[in-house]
């Protein structure tokens, strides 16, 4: 989403939308009204905000700090400030030059529903973990990072996450759904956690 920087000298503060609602993204997901609400409330209750990253890179240091986040009529609005580090300063210059002006969110799905008529997946509740500056919105890494987080916690990724990863890898919806039909996120799944971890994409 487009980013608008505030005119505050070298303060490096900005406002932006991390995600917009009621728009079909490249993964055929649609953020529905109210889908961010519980996550925002949980962050406020815990005195936290989502991390501010570059390109969903959870293994590098943050590039700044998100100070306020809310859901409005358009989507997930937030105020942030880039840190005066090399990465933060570079992003500030690039954003001021309009060379980088898009964001993407990393999240865990809490509640979703497939709309068979429209052939889209409706996101009714998500837990927003981070917001990233990205070259391309709806970055494939958002799905991959979500799956990696499940592995790190000793859990299985959801059927939807596996389906999205297969679709992003070039398979058709029919092919991805056929593979996912034999996947059950439990210890009895025919696609087990050990086997999935062997793929280089999860290393």
Give me the pLDDT at residue 186, please: 61
Q: Helix, strand, or coil here: 62?
A: coil
CA 144, CA 105: separation in Å to the nearest integer?
Answer: 12
The stretches of the chain forming alpha helices (DSSP H) are: 37-46, 86-96, 141-152, 159-168, 173-180, 193-197
**Count, residues in the chain:** 203
Give me the pLDDT at residue 181, please: 82
Closest CA to 80 of 72, 91, 37: 91
Give me the pLDDT at residue 119, please: 87
Give me the pLDDT at residue 25, please: 82
Give me the pLDDT at residue 202, please: 34
- Each residue's pLDDT expressed in tens, for the chain with a length of 203 residues: 555 665 455 688 888 899 989 988 877 889 999 999 999 999 999 999 999 999 888 889 999 999 999 999 989 999 999 999 999 999 999 988 888 888 889 898 899 999 989 888 999 999 999 999 988 776 444 455 556 566 666 777 777 777 777 766 666 777 778 888 887 776 444 444 444 444 333 33
Task: Give the predicted TM-score (pTM) of the model.
Answer: 0.69
Closest CA to 40 of 131, 114, 116: 131
């Amino acid at each position: 989403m487009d980013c608008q920087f505030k005119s505050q000298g070298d303060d490096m503060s900005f406002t932006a939308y991390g995600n917009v609602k009621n728009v079909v993204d490249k993964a055929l997901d649609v953020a529905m009204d109210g889908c961010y609400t519980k996550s925002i409330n949980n962050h406020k209750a815990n005195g936290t905000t989502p991390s501010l990253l570059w390109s969903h890179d959870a293994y590098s240091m943050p590039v700044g700090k998100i100070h306020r986040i809310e859901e409005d009529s358009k989507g997930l609005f937030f105020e942030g400030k880039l840190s005066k580090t090399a990465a933060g300063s570079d992003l500030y210059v690039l954003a001021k030059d309009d060379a980088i002006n898009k964001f993407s969110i990393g999240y865990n799905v809490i509640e979703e529903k497939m709309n068979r008529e429209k052939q889209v997946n409706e996101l009714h509740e998500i837990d927003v973990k981070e917001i990233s500056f990205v070259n391309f919105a709806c970055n494939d890494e958002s799905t991959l990072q979500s799956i990696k987080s499940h592995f790190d916690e000793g859990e299985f990724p959801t059927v939807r996450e596996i389906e999205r990863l297969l679709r992003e890898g070039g398979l058709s919806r029919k092919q991805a759904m056929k593979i996912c039909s034999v996947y059950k996120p439990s210890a009895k799944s025919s696609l087990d956690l050990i086997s999935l971890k062997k793929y280089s994409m999860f290393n």
